[in-house]
Amino acid sequence: MKLIPNVICLVISLAYSGVISALGSTESISDELVKVDKPNILLIVADDLGFSDLGAFGGEIETPNLDALATSGVRLTNFYATPSCSPTRSMLLTGQDNHPAGMGAMAEALQTFSILKGKPGYEGYLKPETTTIAEVLSNAGYRTLMSGKWHLGSQPNQQPTEHGFDRAFALMQGGADHFGAGQNGGPALQPATYTENGRPAEFPLGSYSSDVYAERLIDYLNLEDKPDQPFFAYLAFTAPHWPLQAPAELIEKYKDRYNAGPEALRSARFERMKRLGLIDSAVPISSLVVLDDWQKLSEQQRKVESRNMEIYAAMVDSLDQNVGRVLDQLRVSGEYDNTVIIFMSDNGAEGIGARPLIGRTSNSTPPQHKAAVLAAINAGNSDLSKMGTGESFITYGSQWAQAAMAPFRKSKGDTEEGGVRVPAFISGPAIKGQRIISSALSVRDVMPTVLDITHTAYSDVSEAPVTAAGVISMPSAKSWKPILDGSLESVRSDTDAIAWELHLKRGIRVGDWKAVYGKDTGDRSSPSSWKLYNLSDDIAESNDVSAENGQVLERLVAAWGAYAKQNGVFVPGPPQQKSE
């Protein structure tokens, strides 16, 4: 573990990654915030959760525990992650952009994007010189605990315990069979490696992932080795990431709820989101991406597709129940009222179709077993009695994903809103709750926010504030403290940028303007181009206004170029070109 300064101040003074958040005298800090000196922090991350899946965000899935937290706290409707899993986690835990943190690309993607291999910032693991929330809080006297998906490096020197966690039960890969198949080289469609406190560990075969992760975190919370210390707990679920699997009784609970198809689901959620004040009532449903005609599917196809969504809903339901178990433990221990809870998804809903099964068995699976495994899984993917069990390997596809991300365009992997705008909320002591905040926020903000509310100061002025393209301020982390105490509605101005690059796709938002760079279709041979949207009246990104706003686009593209240069982004062609 790296040694870092251990500086604790009752008057918060945070200088982090070039962002100086000097709160000044104690008069600027609410009395309530001062009283809650060292709150516990519970950081919960869902994997590929759709924007409207939770009830508090417009969904019909039963999520009472998360809904209660969200509605009593501050719901964040303009919260941005990155387009995919591990890059988001690197930004979440360090407050840095994903490139300097080492996650310019997912480790898995480096096989596909070979042009990126070996480039600085594209290591595919969290760089050892980065500093995480866990390291800073550990040095400030916090117990630091983790349970769930790590996905930031699997070597001995890349474990959670090497990045500040005292205790950690972790899945090394980006996903796994939810019932434990595939660990230690067993026959399955994807390998799964688990560690505990940096050493090889086993997942209890047959148990369900969300249950296991919650139970292990509760075990850590119950340990009496440091009873007087506050805790920072990171609970990183792998639900509802594919493969779609869930306990049978929960799948049965949602039987026949989705028989009307994705369009009907999206319409119902769309109207609930308007009633809840999550989106503007003036947004027309006609601006949303056109979905496939459900009635053109055969009856059997509709049954299979409906079951896919039933399983997905069961996964989200299970996640919520396990959050409830952790909350119950906090109540029993008397820690609940002194715990700040942050919840988010790591990216937009996963829109890929059925996974290509051939060759996807673990590399260590004996060849004689591969054909049998693949045959069994393929059969289970369309057998209604086996779907959602360990005998299936299912995704739920672009139509359900687009319904879950309404009113946004596209889904996981894209820099459009559907790939990067995710559900999030924060609740707990010293937070002025029962509010919805619609200003633009970033996953990078979590670290300075946590350090602010725990009264922990940490200085790492490794990059000075940068302004590009005249008045546009480069992406940086911002503490939400002024939002949480109710003094401000936003911590960013109309000239502050939020920018993305992942797997050669690009995006930048400045004020209400959003520019994205990528391909219109899945055809890799088609040219990429920049498009411009005004999110103030087009959150669905349905109308490219670059032709009539050429100077705006030029300014945003130049700012993105400055961001790329500042963060070591590999650019295969001039970023200012409209196509390449």
- Active site annotation includes 151: yes
Q: Which residues pair with 534 in a beta bridge?
A: 513
Question: Is omega for the bond preceding 243 within 30 degrees of 0, making it cis?
Answer: yes
Is 480 part of a structural domain of the chain?
no
- Cα within 13 Å of Cα(278), Cβ side: 31
The range of the structural domain enclosing residue 435 comes to 7-459
Q: Which of 99, 151, 178, 241 is catalytic?
A: 151
Tens of pLDDT along the chain (580 residues) come to: 454 433 333 333 333 333 323 222 223 333 343 345 799 999 999 999 999 999 999 999 999 999 999 999 999 999 999 999 999 999 999 999 999 999 999 999 998 898 999 999 999 999 999 999 999 999 999 999 999 999 999 999 999 999 999 999 999 999 999 999 988 766 566 789 999 999 999 999 999 999 999 999 999 999 977 778 999 999 999 999 999 999 999 999 999 999 999 999 999 999 999 999 999 999 999 999 999 999 999 999 999 999 999 999 999 999 999 999 999 999 999 999 999 999 999 999 999 876 544 334 444 445 555 566 566 666 668 889 999 998 888 999 999 999 999 999 999 999 999 999 999 999 999 899 999 999 999 999 999 999 999 999 876 534 445 565 567 998 999 999 999 999 999 999 999 999 999 999 999 999 999 999 988 765 666 788 999 999 999 999 999 999 999 999 999 999 999 999 999 999 986 544 444 4
- Active site annotation includes 85: yes
Residue type, 304: V
Q: What is the DSSP secondary-structure string of 171-237?
A: E-SS---TT-TTBTT-SSSS-B-EEETTEEE---TTS-HHHHHHHHHHHHHH--SSTTS-EEEEEE-
Q: Distance from first CA to last CA of the chain, Å, rounded?
A: 44
Written as six digits, the tokens of 131 are 């500093």
CA–CA dist 382, 370 (Å, integer): 19
Helix axes 85-94, 446-453, angle to 10 degrees: 30
Is 249 part of a structural domain of the chain?
yes
Is 350 part of a structural domain of the chain?
yes
Is 513 part of a structural domain of the chain?
no
Tell me how far apart the 2 most distant CA atoms of the chain are, in Å. 71
Tell me which long-range contacts 111-116 makes (C-beta under 8 A, separation of at least 24): 112/503, 113/503, 113/504, 115/570, 115/572, 116/570
CA–CA dist 579, 557 (Å, integer): 12
Is 557 part of a structural domain of the chain?
no
Written as six digits, the tokens of 16 are 């982090």
Please check whether residue 233 is in contact with residue 42, taking contact to mean a CB–CB distance below 8 angstroms.
Answer: yes
Q: Which of 85, 99, 163, 455 is catalytic?
A: 85
- Written in H, E and C, the secondary structure of 135-155 is HHHHHCCCEEEEEEECCCCCC
Comparing CA positions, the residue from 508, 505, 504, 438 lying closest to residue 473 is: 508
Is 121 part of a structural domain of the chain?
yes
Comparing CA positions, the residue from 8, 30, 118, 6 lying closest to residue 486 is: 30
Is 566 part of a structural domain of the chain?
no
Number of domains forming the structure of the chain: 1
Is 126 part of a structural domain of the chain?
yes
| Phi, psi (rounded to 5 degrees) for 522 | -80, 0
CA–CA dist 421, 102 (Å, integer): 22
Report the CATH number at residue 284: 3.40.720.10
Q: Is 345 exposed, middle or buried (0-12, 13-18, 19+ CB in 10 A)?
A: buried
Q: What's the predicted TM-score (pTM) here? A: 0.90
